[in-house]
């Protein structure tokens, strides 16, 4: 993820895999300057997840995205993303959660 004013500096990145029926998010990472209390930009992780949801819709998977969470972040992802636990630390976003994120970060999509 970059911004128009400075496309040479990465703000965050996400690794997505097409699983033929949904998108699997292997990795999501914010740049060091976008972490903690003094982060430069707010919403980088949410924006990256929303991008995964957009990709899922583009592939015809109705926004479904799955990922493996760190244990300490499960509740955070439930609250902030609307993610549901599948089993263990594996989580997913369904169509409803995906549409909510897309509306927030990509309001011109569709």
23 is a domain residue: yes
**pLDDT value for 107:** 92
6 is a domain residue: no
78 is a domain residue: yes
7 is a domain residue: no
32 is a domain residue: yes
pLDDT over 80 at 50, yes or no: yes
Report the number of distinct structural domains present in the chain. Answer: 1
Q: For 3, list phi and psi in degrees, rounded to 5.
A: -110, 155
Please state whether the predicted TM-score (pTM) of the whole model is above 0.85: yes
87 is a domain residue: yes
Strand order in the sheet with 65-68: 12-18, 23-30, 65-68, 90-93, 84-87
Segment 64-107, tens digit of pLDDT: 999 999 889 999 999 999 999 999 999 999 999 999 999 999 99
Range of the domain at 79: 12-105
5 is a domain residue: no
């Amino acid at each position: 993820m970059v911004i128009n004013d400075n496309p040479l500096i990465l703000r965050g990145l996400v690794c997505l895999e097409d699983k033929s029926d949904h998108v699997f998010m292997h990795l999501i990472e914010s740049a060091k300057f976008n972490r903690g209390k003094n982060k430069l930009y707010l919403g980088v992780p949410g924006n990256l997840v929303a991008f995964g949801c957009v990709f899922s819709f583009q592939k015809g998977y109705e926004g479904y995205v799955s990922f493996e969470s760190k244990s300490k972040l499960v509740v955070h992802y439930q609250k902030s993303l609307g993610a549901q636990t599948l089993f263990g630390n594996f989580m997913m976003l369904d169509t409803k959660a995906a549409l909510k994120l897309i509306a927030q970060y990509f309001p011109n999509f569709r």
